[in-house]
Chain A
Amino acid sequence: MTHARALRWRVFACAKIFGTALVLMMAAPALSAVSEAEIKAAYLYKLASFVRWPDSAFVEPAAPLRICIAGRPDVYHVVDGLTRGQDAAGRHLSAESVNPARPDTVAHCQILYLGEGETAVPAMLAQIAQAPVLTVTDRAGGTHGGIIEFVLVGGNIRFTIHRQSSEVHQLVLSSKLLAVAVSVEP
């Protein structure tokens, strides 16, 4: 190592240590490393902590908080794994896979995720009407009309929120949730 190089190295080290505005960024983990289903499942699991349901949403005080997944068995499996033994809002979490053909089974869900391309979506949404159920649809998967809708922005999975719809369903959404939404529709 020449003298000049050693000096340059030292200057670099100093700049690195005393730099006034050194912004460190972790390299963004490639989406491919984590599957789309895993991300959506994680979001569904975490949503439970950002939403407040009325007491009428539960059949009994000790009833678990059900996260129902329709049409995406892969997502269901991940959610099932995540929720096992976990609590949110003072209740046990449970994951349920619902049959789109039987809309009546969704009445006891607190979160209902309607996966891709379900033709039965309108029927199911109609079934829960104004019930305190957080409906999540997936635009990328061709489902629409949920209070929360997953969208793809710049290769990342984000979501939009329909506030009016949440009020109709007697749900209170955390401001933190609103803050990270891509858009909040009135």
Chain B
Amino acid sequence: MSTSGGRLFRDYRMTTGVLAVLLLAVSLVLAWQAERQAGLERSRQINVQAQILAEGVAGALAFDDRSTARELLNALELNDDIQAAGVYGAQGEMIAGYVKQGDPLPRHVRPHPPAIAGLALSVVEPVTQGTLKLGNVYIRATVEPWTRRISRYFGIGAVLVMAALLVAALGASYSSATAANQRLQEEIAAREAVESQLRQAQKMEAIGQLTGSVAHDFNNMLMAASSGLELLEKSADPQRTERLKRGIREALDRGARLTQQLLTFARRAPLHREVFDIRQRLANLSSLLERSLREDVVVEYDLDPALWAVEVDPSQFDVAVVNIAVNARDAMPKGGVIRISARNLDRAINGADAVSIAIADEGGGMTPEQIERAFEPFFTTKGVGRGTGLGLSQVYGFVHGAGGTVAIESRPGMGTTVQILLPRQEHAAPVAEPEPAIAPADDAPVHWRVLLVEDDDAVAEFVEQMLDELGCTVCRQPRAEDALRSFDRAAVDLVLSDMVMPGMYNGLEMARELRRRCSDLPILLMTGYSSAANSATGEGFAVLSKPFTMATLAAQLRELMSSDG
């Protein structure tokens, strides 16, 4: 980019330089041409003068009338351009002549057309009367002096030189402007990259703030699942077994939802404004917040059912809400309620309608000095290692970037409310696409031969059992290269593969290779990474998000097999 830009502006500079030189060259050629024309014209004039003299002097030469010849020469002498003139007889002898300037007259002459010798233009014209050769006349004229010629061209020359300079100067300024623009573009790009990194860092910072709680919550779920399993093994009562299974299932579902939301939250996404419904967004975020804050912190929602739409970057919005919620959590070390309320406000931002999102806690509150400095980057009231002071500065940057305002209302001991006002977007938010309903499980057993590629033995074990349960015959390969080596189209109906695997190939590369070999082979890829899923769906592969249930797996397999075959 910069090299091509550099070349570009070097090209501009070169082009204008060449143009300026061309302009000068053309003007020189024109001047030379004009000079040549003037020279020819002058030659013609002198030749005509010689012819007139030759005509006039014919009688005088024929009849030895020197006085007439001299009179004719005297008339010619009035012309200042003529340096010298002479009349010569038939034998070449001089009859009469004069020299005003320069060399003496030649002793003998021979007819010749106008010719320039030194600074003079001379011509010898024969004098004839019918066939009678009477002699010659000689005229020598000054070539137009340099001074006169230069003064003739000076005006136009000065204009041309100025024009060439102007062209060169314009070119130089244009190229420097182009270069400056180029630098500006590069700086903007660099700044955008840095800002994008900053946004991601802020997001990761928010997640970091949540990590302890998430781990705690996860432990609870694992605890529920493992103790449930333990009890299950010891229990023989079918009713109790059913209850325990349900409990394990719920704990696992919760864990799956949480990781899904963490992944979505942490996804690296370009800044992209879109119109959305805050209710919907907060609802999506709710389980992450609830699960990740702390168990002694309760989140309550009070959302106007008819909230207006806003147009901001959704992931920035999420990060802002999480940042404020984390601050609220930290303000309530002994637990409490975080109240998130949203409502419409008429003419709240400079007379324009706005949506207000207020997040209130029951914590210790803030002093006016703290409120004043709250949005400053790196300002924190938390202990060392507990906060970076970047949370509220992210909120401030996001809200102001969206054309809104943010305010803190707090008094020591009375809790804190952070209120965000975002400008109303007139266009309604697009209705969110409903989650594709999973088709009711088709219990009919299938008899597909599945090539399962999965490096994790535990996952492979479970998936194998699920497939077995569905009626499939499974052949498992732990590595992509093994799968490729042993692949036999005749023995495989479909391929189910993990995407992120150690080894020479990952799942996606293997899938590409298999598709290259057999374009009709149904391939289903499994992954827990949303970015990997995006790249696979971008290439047209079916993707199953981990973790998944048997019902989801069955539905995906049926859909794939029916569409492919």
Contacts and interface: CB of A to CB of B under 8 A. Distances in A.
A1 interface: no
Nearest to B129: A49
* Residue picked from A24, A28, A87, A156, most chain B C-beta under 10 Å: A24
B5 interface: no
Contact of B99 (A24, A87, A158): A24
A88 B132 contact: yes
B68 to A, nearest CB: 5
Contacts of B64: 39, 156-157
Interface stretch (A14-22, A54-62, A134-142, A163-171): A14-22
A50 B62 contact: yes
B452 interface: no
B93 interface: yes
Nearest to B105: A24
Contacts of B68: 179-180
Contacts of A16: 104
A176 B59 contact: yes
A174 B94 contact: no
Contacts of A24: 86, 94, 97-99, 104-105
| Chain B: interface size category | 20 to 34
A18 B77 CA distance: 16
Contacts of A33: none
Nearest to B58: A176
Contacts, number: 81
Contact of B130 (A18, A19, A25, A88): A88
B63 A43 contact: yes
Contact of A22 (B55, B62, B63, B98): B98
B88 to A, nearest CB: 9
Interface in B131-156: 131-132, 134
B62 A49 contact: yes
Contacts of B131: 49, 86-88
Given A159-B63, A179-B59, A89 B129 contact: no
B129 A25 contact: no
Interface SS majority for chain A: mixed
Interface in B25-79: 55-56, 58-60, 62-66, 68, 77
Contacts of A180: 59-60, 62-63, 65, 68
Nearest to B130: A49
| Chain A: interface size category | 20 to 34
B130 to A, nearest CB: 4
B373 interface: no
Contacts of B248: none
A46 interface: yes
A25 B60 CA distance: 15
B381 interface: no
A50 B100 contact: no
B96 A20 contact: no
Interface in A128-186: 156-159, 174, 176-177, 179-180
A49 to B, nearest CB: 4
A181 B4 CA distance: 90
Contacts of B77: 21
B104 A46 contact: no
Interface string B97-109: 1111111110000
A87 B64 CA distance: 21
A174 B59 contact: yes
B59 A26 contact: no
Contacts of B55: 176
A50 B59 CA distance: 8
Contacts of B94: 24, 26
B95 interface: yes
A18 B101 contact: yes
A4 interface: no
A116 to B, nearest CB: 20
Contact of B101 (A20, A159, A174): A20
A156 B65 CA distance: 9
* Residue picked from A157, A158, A180, most chain B C-beta under 10 Å: A180
A86 B90 CA distance: 15
Interface string A86-113: 1111000000000000000000000000
Nearest to A156: B64
A30 interface: no
Nearest to A20: B100
Interface in A1-50: 16-26, 28, 39, 43, 46, 49-50
B494 to A, nearest CB: 113
A26 B151 CA distance: 40
Contacts of B62: 43, 46, 49-50, 176, 180
Nearest to A25: B96
Nearest to B57: A176
A43 B105 CA distance: 28
Interface string B229-272: 00000000000000000000000000000000000000000000
B154 to A, nearest CB: 28
Contact of A17 (B56, B98, B102): B102
Contacts of A26: 93-96
A28 B89 CA distance: 12
Contacts of A86: 131
A87 B131 CA distance: 7
A21 B98 contact: yes
Interface in B463-522: none
Nearest to A26: B94
A159 B62 CA distance: 12
B145 to A, nearest CB: 15
A46 B98 contact: no
Contacts of A174: 59, 129
Given A21-B98, A180-B59, A28 B65 contact: no
B197 to A, nearest CB: 87
11 contacts: A19-B99, A22-B99, A22-B104, A23-B98, A23-B99, A46-B134, A49-B129, A49-B132, A50-B129, A87-B131, A180-B59
Q: Sort A-B residue pairs by CB-CB distance and give the 5 closest, nearest first.
A: A176-B59, A180-B59, A180-B65, A49-B129, A49-B132
Interface of B: 55-56, 58-60, 62-66, 68, 77, 86, 93-105, 129-132, 134
Interface of A: 16-26, 28, 39, 43, 46, 49-50, 86-89, 156-159, 174, 176-177, 179-180
